[in-house]
Amino acid sequence: MYQAFQSESTECGLACIAIALDIYGAPVDLAELRRKHHVSSRGLTLKEVVDIAAANGLVGRAVRCDLDELRELRCPAILHWGLHHYVVLERVKGKTVRISDPASGRSDLGMDEVSRFFTGVALELAPAPGFRRRRQKSPLSLWSWFRLEPAMYGSLLQILLLSLLLQVYVVASPFYMQLAIDQAALKGDHGLLMSLALGFGLFGLFNVCAEGLRGVVTLRLSALLNWDMTLRLFRHMVRLPLPWFQRRKLADVLSRFDAIAPVRELISGTLVATAVDGLLAVVTLVMMYVLAPRLANVVLAALVLYMALRMAMLPISIRLGMEALGARIAESGKRIETVRAIQTLKVMGAENTREGDWANKFAATIKREQSVNVANLSFTSIHGLLDASVNVILVYMGARAVMDSSMTVGLLYAFMAYHTQFSNRASALFDQIIHWRLTDMYSYRLADIVLTPKEDRIDEISVAQPHIQGALEFNGIGFAYAPQEPPILRDVSFVIEPGEFVAIVGPSGAGKSTLLKVLCGLYPASAGQVLLDGRSLESWGPKATRRALGVVMQDDELLAGTIAENVAFFDEQIDIHRVWTCLEQAAIAQDILKMPMRVETFIGEMGATLSGGQKQRILLARALYREPRILVLDEATSHLDMRRESEINAALKALTITRVIVAHRSETIAAADRIITIDRGTVVCDHRNPARQLVELAGDEAPPPA
């Protein structure tokens, strides 16, 4: 049974619908549901869950029920869980409740534990009239995305040929045993025995050399695949829209790269091995039927039984593997979050509490992985018992045949050798087929990245735009995170002339930062459009638009590297003179002159070695280094003292480019030519700065020089 895991922190309701559809025999990929039904940052209400379920062929009925009434619900049912989450109730058996949690996987809970989370609200789901079952294909064809380069085909062919040569030795080895026993040992032919020993000894040496060469080629192919797959996955990921990252946890995004390893191993090693195993299994089976048909029938019957057991275990293996993967992601996320918030934890004295939270996640991970290991161990034991039973039967039947003179001892040895090869190869072949099936869970992980469309025109080659003047026009801009959410921006319209210095003010949460992200093309406008020099941002394309912008957002970060590298944003040819000019404009040059390495000072990951004010000023210098036509600042001086802020404001006034800033501090606002006030997503005031008007008036009325 398919276990949908939520990729976004607020899509538990959507994942529950995917689980319910799978239970009713109409599985659908969560990515497909996500494309059809956008989930807001606040999640889904129960009514919205009902509407989405109806759009996918399920009828929902919301009910209130007590804990002891859970067994009366029609399953699957969606339960409201812990006030902010949804899970699927699959069944109630005695005092055990099976829950499918989109965040952590399937689990059996006692009534006491259920009572801690169940809020008493449930949603029964049933197929609507005309509901049709269907089969769900894997959302991502590995072959269509992980294309092989020509050099890789050559390596695959080399591995295949070497593997076939190795199998010649495997097929011929039983004949050595038969000939050595029947033709040499029993007849006392020392010369033949020596010839056989030398011949097969040289054959074995050749086999060892071929195996070593195959290993080298396999390692080279694996390295090429690792580079190619990871590079293309990373290239696609960094071109995804900003909201994709904002709706996902860091650990979950990082863990998706781990899904490449099983796919790489599948292509570089197991693909060829499976083909060779299949060929050798057929050859050895034919040889067994040539030597002893009755014994071969026993071996074939055992293989059929093994395949049936393996298929019966497949759904359990998939479910346990997905649950273990979800638990590892949750534990990793808690660990990453702890490291990033270590200062807060220490200030709050919450080390013990956090340790307990992480320990619970880690214990859940160990428990899930233990379940996987127990299932594998159980199957291995069953497989071993089956092999042992078959060996006993074959030896018994073979010995009886030798006693009846219908089979020689050497022939029995040869048959048993072929049986061993057939058993190993056939089981390996079927195990690899099962392994391919298990890679579906990694395919789903990769699909969330690969199948998400990149930003429009993000791959266009960017060229410098010296002709951009910096005129901006906002025409009826509206924005909402989801259609069912209230808009953040509503009919925002104003014009900014080239070279104008505009301050956007308003209360927190009014939509100021969102407006700047729409300007930068990070958020798509739900309504209206932004014009740059009379052309829409879409017509310019994201590369050209962002090339004209110098931006400092509230949550911008510095990267690990030197100060010069960060200011130049790791340009191949860093203009040190321009770096110092920008540092002067950002009022931080004097601070850097006091550092031993000056602009070559390494500042650490995310600017860890800098104060908040120093970090903001370097970010400002980075924006200025781009020589933008439009400078966009969102609270870029909020951590500075008044003197530093005054120096930066003076530098900003001297610029002849368009400047758009969001600020709350009066000193920064006073430097602007014009002030636009936004409240509740709408422009409520747009006027010239009175202080600037007085300065301009004084300048106009000043007497001419003598």
User: What distance in Å separates the CA atoms of residue 116 and residue 81, rounded to the nearest whole number?
Assistant: 9
User: What distance in Å separates the CA atoms of residue 5 and residue 14, rounded to the nearest whole number?
Assistant: 10
- Kindly list the distances between the CA atom of residue 619 and the CA atoms of 512, 550, 569, in Å, as whole numbers in the listed order: 20, 10, 10
Structure tokens at 450: 């690969």
Query: 41: which DSSP letter?
Result: T
Question: What is the identity of the amino acid at 260?
Answer: I
Q: Taking the CA of residue 537 as centre, how many other CA atoms within 13 Å lie in the half-sphere pointing to its CB?
A: 27
Contact 257/230 with Cβ under 8 angstroms?
Answer: yes
Cα of 202 vs its chain's centroid, Å? 50
Give me Rg for the CA atoms of the chain.
34
Angle at the Cα of 515 from the Cα atoms of 514 and 521, rounded to 5 degrees: 90
User: What distance in Å separates the CA atoms of residue 524 and residue 241, rounded to the nearest whole number?
Assistant: 9
Helices (H), 37-99: 46-55
- Give the phi and the psi of residue 544 in degrees, each rounded to 5: -65, -40
3-class SS of residue 473: strand
- Give the phi and the psi of residue 94 in degrees, each rounded to 5: 65, -125
Contact 267/146 with Cβ under 8 angstroms?
Answer: yes
Question: Where in the sequence numbering do the catalytic residues fall?
Answer: 12
**Could you tell me whether strands 96-101 and 501-505 are parallel, antiparallel, or unpaired per DSSP bridges?**
unpaired
3-class SS of residue 332: helix
Question: What is the identity of the amino acid at 314?
Answer: L
User: What distance in Å separates the CA atoms of residue 595 and residue 607, rounded to the nearest whole number?
Assistant: 15
Q: Tokens 């729409």, residue?
A: 518
Query: Containing H/E element for 373?
Result: helix 351-403
